[in-house]
Amino acid sequence: MPLTQIFSTLRGKRPAPALGRTVGKVRFVGAGPGDPDLLTVKALTALQEADVVIHDGLVPVSIVKLATSAMKFIPVGKKGFGQHTPQDVINARIVENARQGHTVVRLKGGDPTVFARLDEEIEALEAASIDYDIVPGITAASASLAAIGQSLTKRGRNASARILTGHDMKGFADHDWRTLAGSGEVAAIYMGKRAARFIQGRLLMHGAAPDTPVTLVENASRTDQSVLGTTLVNLPDAVEQADLTGPALMLWGLAPRDAASLPLLKQELA
């Protein structure tokens, strides 16, 4: 048995299709956090070359319409907690369009490798012997950190950070709450808005300081971006009163760098 292996950089290559049959390919493309200028050059090119675009509901129209040669646009997935397309239906749409010989761009908000259910879709392509590649995108955490002028890690504060989802918090191990509750811990919590009270309860129960800063960045990088700076003790009430309607990333353990000097944007919540 070999000790280890160095693999080719070429991935997802499948056996050639049967003679006379042309099979397309699928590109998983990260749409980034919302600002079209935060697309990578590679993502923009992939969009411009796409025949078919299958896009998440949260990807803004200003990005979807950059696919100027596409003949078909298929919105799938869900918008917040609303209507959603079942995963097996999404998989089937991707496969059927690639089998028709198209170059399919599967456009996902943020980065396809972060909370984007990439695995299920790749497995469907592997089962159907369809080629694919992955074009990374700027994830919401990067854009949110940039918005508040903070680093994910900082010497003397934290040498590591967590990325997690608030969408299915019930399954998150108690052990991790204890770690997160410690001083200087930092986490980027995706889809944490609705779990704010649950998150607060768990962190307080495990000894987190009530005045630990928590920042929510709504619509990161978009023209309607807003930043909500609060603390653990006030978190659920602050989130409720702010009535954030767009996607929001929660940054545990970080305050906006300019909190003291910034003017209030909309309101001072009493």
List the interface residues with a copy of itself, window 182-211 (CB under 8 A): 182, 187
d(CA 126, CA 166): 30
Instruction: Candidates 47-55, 77-85, 164-172, 193-201: pick the segment binding a copy of itself (CB under 8 A).
Output: 164-172
Residue in 101, 42, 45, 91 with CA at minimum distance from that of residue 71: 101
Residue 25, beta-bridge partner list: 103, 131
* Rounded-to-10 torsion of CA 161, 140, 194, 150: 50
Is residue 237 a contact residue for a copy of itself (CB under 8 A)? yes
Among 47, 55, 111, 200, binds a copy of itself (CB under 8 A): 111
Q: Considering the complex, what minimum distance in angstroms separates the CB of residue 63 from a copy of itself?
A: 11
Total residues contacting a copy of itself (rule CB under 8 A)? 93
| Region from 52-60, 73-81, 160-168, 203-211 binding a copy of itself, contact rule CB under 8 A | 160-168
Considering only residues 77 through 106, tell me which ones interact with a copy of itself, judged by CB under 8 A: none
Spatial distance between the Cα atoms of 185 and 202, rounded to a whole number of angstroms: 15
Residue 68 lies near a copy of itself (rule: CB under 8 A): no
| Distance in Å, CB of 164 to a copy of itself, minimum | 3
State which residue, 44 or 209, has the beta carbon closest to a copy of itself.
44
45 touching a copy of itself, by CB under 8 A = yes
Question: Cα separation of 95 and 246, whole Å?
Answer: 31
- Please tell me the distance from the alpha carbon of residue 137 to that of residue 192, in angstroms, as a whole number: 21
In degrees and rounded to multiples of 5, residue 159 shows phi and psi of -100, 0
